[in-house]
Amino acid sequence: MQNRSKQHLLHSSSRIHLTLFFTRGVSLRTWEELGMFEREVALYRKFQAKGMKVSFVTYGDERDLKYAPRIPGIDILCNSRPEKRLPFRVYAALIPIIHAKILRKSNVIKSNQTAGAEIAQRAAKFWRKPFIARSGWMWSFNEARRTGQNSQQTLQVLELEKKIFSKADRIIVTTSAMRESILKIVPSSSKKAWVIPNYVDDAKFRPLKFGHKRHEIIFVGRLSPEKNIEQLLRAVVSSDIKAMFIGQGPLEQLMMKMISSSQGRIYWKKRIPSNDLPFYFNQAKLFVLPSLYENHPKSLIEAMSCGLPVLGADSPGIRDIIQHGVNGWLCDTDSESIRISIEYMLNNQNLCKKLGNNARTFVIKHFSLEQIVEKELELIKEIVKE
């Protein structure tokens, strides 16, 4: 019975051709430079293994085509006119025509993030294809935090989200809180808004045995104000903690300043390929994420999948994943609370071992790549059948 079910799934998926539109301005080269390539393509490789045909619409030039050997079978549709690369606006406007051969054959079109979703939506409408709007984070929420609830920028983003979500055939968000936010913007979207979390390839992100841990804590993420980097750095500098930071962003100058006053206890790498992250996670005793707010943080669930004990701020998006004292530890967002919590956990090895084991179990149960593939396949097959 189980084999027959798998064969049916393979057969039904083999009739489907999915075209993914990248985030506005993003290319395969961007994914590679940010160390995201392997992480981002993992889902679509799994779709291929289920018999689905996949195409990528990117905003790169002919250099994106060199990635074809790494993603065999996936069409790479980019701004690669032999005579001259088109200006962004012209390319974006002409995508339905330029890539007509593939788009016409597609069964469903999907956007990767809200930024650029209007381009994907326009192509879907042009070719009369069902459209899936995916949003890994609420753009309007982040914009309101950055510029104010009633700022012109926030209102413009809200209007864009309303337009995209109201016209989409299905909506994918990563958390229940995001779904509730969308229902406030478009109340009629309750039946088409699906919660499908970020995934972790738990076969790659797994515990590795090392005789010696090089770092006491590790942070992986963007060096930006919402990540509360300054307070974490202050906690490290005011103690004897050895820390590894992996990330880049607008607070790089602050990072360099803090490194100079850390007496060699802070190590920093701007970017690491996602395939190498398990090695770095396993070289640390504790993962720390002190953000003021998150959506569904990939670095957190990847660290948990490695069996690493995790410490997170008691903030939206983090407390939805970390159960205090069960699969992780929560603290306040000020440097003193962060420092005390780090030192407490580092001095309690039995606690850390328990939290790390529970963390991996939790991630495998809720966020494993295989589970997310099945959930999204269910959605795609439903929309294609309709």
Residue 380 and residue 238 share a domain: no
Q: Which residues contact 216 (CB under 8 A, 6 or more apart)?
A: 241, 242, 243, 284, 285, 286, 342, 346
Question: Which tokens belong to 377?
Answer: 């396949």
> Does some domain include residue 204?
no
Residue type, 70: R
> Does some domain include residue 275?
yes
Closest by CA to 334, choosing from 238, 215, 216, is 238
Q: Please measure the distance between the N-terminal and C-terminal CA atoms of the chain and give it in whole angstroms.
A: 26
What's residue 10's pLDDT? 43
What's residue 4's pLDDT? 44
Residue positions counted in the chain: 386
**Helix pair 335-346, 349-367: axis angle to 10 deg:** 100
Residue 189 and residue 57 share a domain: yes
**Helix pair 298-305, 349-367: axis angle to 10 deg:** 110
| CATH assignment at residue 247 | 3.40.50.2000
Residue 141 and residue 119 share a domain: yes
* 210 and 184 Cβ atoms separated by less than 8 Å: no
Question: Which tokens belong to 54?
Answer: 């996949």
> Does some domain include residue 208?
no
Q: How far is CA 309 from the centre of its chain?
A: 21
pLDDT digits (tens, 9 = 90+) for 70-83: 999 999 999 987 66
pLDDT digits (tens, 9 = 90+) for 205-227: 999 987 788 899 999 999 999 99
Q: Report the alpha-carbon distance of residue 320 to residue 337 in Å, rounded.
A: 20
> Does some domain include residue 205?
no
pTM for the whole thing?
A: 0.91
Residue 182 and residue 228 share a domain: no
Helix (H) or strand (E) run with residue 75 in it: strand 75-77
Q: Report the alpha-carbon distance of residue 254 to residue 243 in Å, rounded.
A: 15
Residue 131 and residue 189 share a domain: yes
Which residues of the chain fall below pLDDT 70?
1-14, 82-83
Question: Which tokens belong to 374?
Answer: 């099945």
Residue 114 and residue 37 share a domain: yes
What's residue 11's pLDDT? 45
What's residue 218's pLDDT? 98
Q: Report the alpha-carbon distance of residue 225 to residue 146 in Å, rounded.
A: 9
Distances (CA, A) of 355 to 138, 221, 350: 30, 21, 9
What's residue 29's pLDDT? 97
Q: CB-based burial of residue 361 (10 Å sphere; 0-12 exposed, 13-18 middle, 19+ buried)?
A: middle
Q: Report the alpha-carbon distance of residue 214 to residue 265 in Å, rounded.
A: 11
> Does some domain include residue 206?
no
Residue 27 and residue 160 share a domain: yes
* 319 and 293 Cβ atoms separated by less than 8 Å: no
Residue 117 and residue 223 share a domain: no
Which residues form the domain of 22?
A: 2-199+369-385
Q: Kindly write down the DSSP assignment for every residue of 273-285, as one continuous string.
A: -GGGHHHHHHTEE
* 287 and 218 Cβ atoms separated by less than 8 Å: yes
What's residue 83's pLDDT? 66
Residue 251 and residue 170 share a domain: no
User: β-pairing, 215-220 with 284-289?
Assistant: parallel
3-state secondary structure of 314: coil
> Does some domain include residue 209?
no
Residue 296 and residue 331 share a domain: yes
What's residue 145's pLDDT? 84
> Does some domain include residue 210?
no
Residue 334 and residue 312 share a domain: yes
Residue 164 and residue 101 share a domain: yes
Unique residue bearing structure tokens 């690493």: 308
Please give the tally of structural domains in the chain: 2
> Does some domain include residue 61?
yes
